[in-house]
Amino acid sequence: MFIDTHCHLDFPPFMFDMPQTLANAQQAKVKALIVPTISAAHFDRVIDLANQHIAIYAALGLHPIYQHQQHDIDKLEDQLKQQHHRVIAIGEIGLDRWVSMPTIEEQAIFFYAQLALAKKYQLPVILHSRRAHDLLYTALKEARLPQVGVIHGFSGSFEQAMQFIRLGYFIGVGGTITYPRANKTRQAIAKLPLTSLVLETDAPDMPLFGYQGQINRPENIVQIFETLCQLRNEPKETICDQIRLNSKTLFPLLFSS
């Protein structure tokens, strides 16, 4: 049984064929899927998906590479106040130096505001970090969140990952490890504590090696898992059981609703 801790089912093509999307996931033994938002405009859509489908759980957040307004933070808190039983995290939030706009300073305003909400409502965070691990680490160290979170789509070094793990954070393992040239990340994932890893697809983005240019799908988590098993020394059953336990530890509300 797998848990896809990060997939955007509110994006095309999934939103136009949800029954088949979920049937494909179920056939691949994907028991649960967490869908984070990128903007306030997606809040209602993702909450509706989670309310309509038992396998889907929602995360609400403002993605760093998009433009947001202060009232979007207000909308986020309004949703959190309602304590939707299917909303289990705040995300996708973070910092991104790859883009020039919004500036990193503008991103930081919304990032810190959302960390404050995570602390206030005691929810874990789903974190986007691109060329910003140092800034993210400093922010998380200062925030001291009660429910920590996951570094989504991790593609850094062993040392960078261990910094986050020492703070109690989990590392999101996705399609990057299927690329033979991603030596730094593959070597890191091979050595990191198994107790700190969770699986994700980031569907429809982050296509696996050999599928470049194609739509990524939640059922591809099986191939990510198989690659992880090739990189690790533990038995496959041990990896599967521990990854599932990690997901439930990271997201305490998973399966409790």
Reduced to 3 states (helix: H, G, I; strand: E, B; else coil), residue 97 is coil
pTM of the model: 0.97
Domains, the chain, ordered by start: 2-250 (3.20.20.140)
Establish whether 6 is an annotated binding residue: yes
> Binding site annotation covers 202?
yes
| pLDDT at 257 (0 to 100) | 58
Please report the pLDDT score of residue 254 as a whole number: 87
Averaged pLDDT, groups of 10, the chain, 257 residues long: 97 94 98 98 97 97 97 98 95 96 97 98 97 96 97 94 98 97 96 98 97 97 98 98 96 81
Helix H, strand E, coil C: the string for 178-225 is HCCCCHHHHHHHHHCCHHHEEECCCCCCCCCCCCCCCCCCHHHHHHHH
* Tokens describing residue 46: 């993702």
**Residue 68 is assigned to a ligand binding site:** no
Q: Of 9, 8, 66, whose CA–CA distance to 40 is shortest?
A: 66
- Closest-CA residue to 173 (of 194, 196, 200, 195): 200
On whether 63 is known to bind a ligand per the annotation, the reply is no
Contact 228, 198 (CB under 8 A): no
Q: Is 133 annotated as a binding residue?
A: no
Cα(66)–Cα(254) distance, integer angstroms: 28
